[in-house]
Amino acid sequence: MAKIKGAIVVDIEKCKGCEVCVISCPTHVISMTKDVNGKGYHYAYMENPDSCTGCTNCAIVCPDGVISVYKIKVDA
């Protein structure tokens, strides 16, 4: 059985920490860092990377277009 694994890359310096991606992720992958970026925003990161399915929901709702999504099909 094939399984989908995903991952996201956040453009940290452009993230404004709005958290819209956090609630849009169906598998609760994303959280905000305790650190801040150069503009003083907490930024999005994968807290639970194993749960990412690469569905792109976070990326398409991101108002600043800072999320890139990668996806791979792995055989079980």
Partner 1 sequence: MQDTLTTKDIIKPENLVYSKTKLLTDTPLSYCPGCGHGTANRLVMEVIDEMGIQSQTIGIAPVGCSVLAYNFMNIDMIQAAHGRAPAVATAVKRVFPDKYVFTYQGDGDLAAIGTSETIHACNRGENITIVFINNGIYGMTGGQMAPTTLPNMKASTCPYGRDVEIMGHPLKITELVAQLPGTYYVTRQAVHTPAAVRKAKKAIRKAIENQKLKKGLSFVEIVSNCNSGWKMTPNDSNKWMEENMFPEYPMGDIKVPSEI
Give least dist CB 37 to partner 1, A. Answer: 11
Radius of gyration in angstroms for the set of CA atoms belonging to the chain, rounded to a whole number: 13
Closer residue to partner 1 in complex, CB, 34/62: 62
The nearest distance, CB 8 to partner 1, in angstroms, is 9
Q: Which residues bind partner 1 (CB under 8 A)?
A: 3, 5-7, 9, 14, 16-20, 22-24, 41, 46, 49, 54-57, 59-72, 74-76
- Count of CA atoms in the C-beta half-sphere (13 A) of 37: 15
| 34 versus 38: smaller Cβ distance to partner 1 | 38
Give the separation between CA 58 and CA 46, rounded to whole angstroms.
Answer: 11
Q: Is 63 exposed, middle or buried (0-12, 13-18, 19+ CB in 10 A)?
A: exposed
Work out how close the CB of 64 gets to partner 1 at its nearest, in angstroms, rounded to a whole number.
5
